[in-house]
A and B are shown apart, each in its own frame.
Chain A
Amino acid sequence: MATTTATITLSSADLLSDNMSLSATMNLYKGGTTATGLEQVNYHRLIVPTGTNFDLIEESDALKDNSNYVYIINKNTDVTDYVKISINAEEIGRLYAGDWLFMPWNCDLSAAANDSTIELQAFTHEHVIEYALFHIGETLVTAADS
């Protein structure tokens, strides 16, 4: 097993009347275990054109009903640039230039869920996106010429 940690720090000296600082650290464990770390990761960097809602991280049987964690960052620098992140046609929200997200992803394959693929659409300009999936497994595709 591997040991992977994710730490967030939220801070501001002037949002409130006093300093605000919040920090949390978590270990990325497999679901249903007390302390067995996730062992697999995919890390990507890509340029996303505008105009189309793309599948960014596709659902698969190997990912279902367990612990997967997704990190996405918008690496653009123009403050008007943003991407919409969605699951199953439900928009989670917008990542503007420099924004990031970190969230669990269950990959629900039930009929009711319909489609749990994580989608991304770029607006204003093409976007440089980096994303990581720390995951429980991957459905490999048998080579067509095997």
Chain B
Amino acid sequence: MTMQRCTNCKTTLTEVAVVCVNCLSREFENFEAPTGGRLVSWTTIRRAPAGYCAAAPYDVVVVDLAPTIRVTGRLAPDSLPPSMGASVHQVGEENGCRLFVVSK
């Protein structure tokens, strides 16, 4: 999975960053982030906001891909059930949302 980081200080940055939060540099570079990580927490959304109602219920997850890379996403519908600390890996992206499954 491609992510971006600061060329100057190597701080990992979100997709929407326009300056480095650490050194204010505007020079970024892409790098291959891990696709696998650890499930930090999850919740099953049963009352969804507009635009997401058809997908409900769905599991929103927080995943640590590395000690300094925490991302949000959703569990793919065909994933194994989640559990705290489970190994997960990204299987795709849908409308800007990372899709994960619990690893076997």
A binds B: no
Residues of A whose CB lies within 8 Å of any CB of B are none
